[in-house]
């Protein structure tokens, strides 16, 4: 087994910690940004069901007010939660056409791209999110996840996660980033930055 494979296996274990934070954060607060998380259907679990009643209610709003970016984002969130990522992409894109300076919708769009196998497009969307708000910690956390698991770029992931720790060390994003940094540092990756003490 190559040393690089061992590093990614260890990093994968720490991704589970991040995944736990992602699920907890989504359940604890209203959806503002969709952090990267493994689809629930992986490992034999049943895929989430689309909330058709919510979709219909939101579609009524959008049909009556086509410029309602908030309703478009909520439709994107509803489809994302049901793991219907192409539909989520449609609605996040529509929301950004209406309100192009929304880093949350932009980040959600990037995560949706990632889940449809468009890693480069996801990273480009995260760059767009960071152009809107360079301090957007959820974007940086997701950028690190996609760099680590989509591009196998642990040095790039570590840089993104280190930025999260610098910006918001006590936030849930900062704590998740610190655990990820600790994980890749303990795996001995030479490009991984050491987390700063809190």
Q: Is the pLDDT of residue 117 over 50?
A: yes
**In this predicted model, what pLDDT tens digit does every residue of 67-111 receive, in sequence order?**
999 999 999 999 999 999 999 999 999 999 999 999 999 999 999
Structure tokens at 115: 């889940």
Amino acid 43: pLDDT: 52
Rounded CA separation 112/114 (Å)? 5
Give the global pTM. Answer: 0.76
Q: How far is CA 180 from CA 100, 104, 149, in A?
A: 31, 22, 12
Q: How many residues does the chain have?
A: 198
CATH number 1.25.40.10 is the correct assignment for the domain at 3-34+48-186: yes
Q: Is the pLDDT of residue 160 over 80?
A: yes
b/e map 84-93, b = 16+ CB within 10 Å: bbebbbbbbb
Amino acid 16: pLDDT: 53
């Amino acid at each position: 087994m190559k040393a690089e494979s061992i590093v990614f296996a260890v990093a994968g274990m720490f991704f589970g910690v991040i995944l736990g934070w992602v699920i907890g954060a989504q359940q604890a607060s209203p959806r503002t940004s969709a952090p990267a998380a493994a689809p629930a259907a992986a490992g034999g679990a049943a895929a989430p069901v689309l909330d058709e009643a919510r979709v219909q209610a939101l579609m009524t709003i959008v049909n009556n007010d086509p410029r309602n970016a908030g309703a478009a984002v909520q439709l994107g969130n509803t489809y994302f939660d049901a793991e219907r990522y192409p539909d989520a992409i449609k609605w996040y894109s529509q929301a950004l056409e209406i309100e192009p300076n929304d880093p949350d919708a932009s980040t959600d769009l990037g995560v949706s791209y990632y889940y449809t196998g468009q890693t480069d497009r996801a990273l480009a969307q995260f760059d767009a999110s960071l152009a809107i708000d360079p301090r957007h910690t959820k974007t940086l956390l997701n950028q690190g996840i996609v760099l680590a698991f989509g591009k196998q770029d642990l040095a790039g992931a570590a840089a993104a996660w280190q930025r999260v720790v610098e910006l918001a060390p006590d936030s849930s994003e900062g704590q998740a980033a610190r655990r990820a940094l600790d994980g890749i540092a303990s795996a001995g990756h030479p490009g991984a930055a050491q987390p700063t003490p809190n």
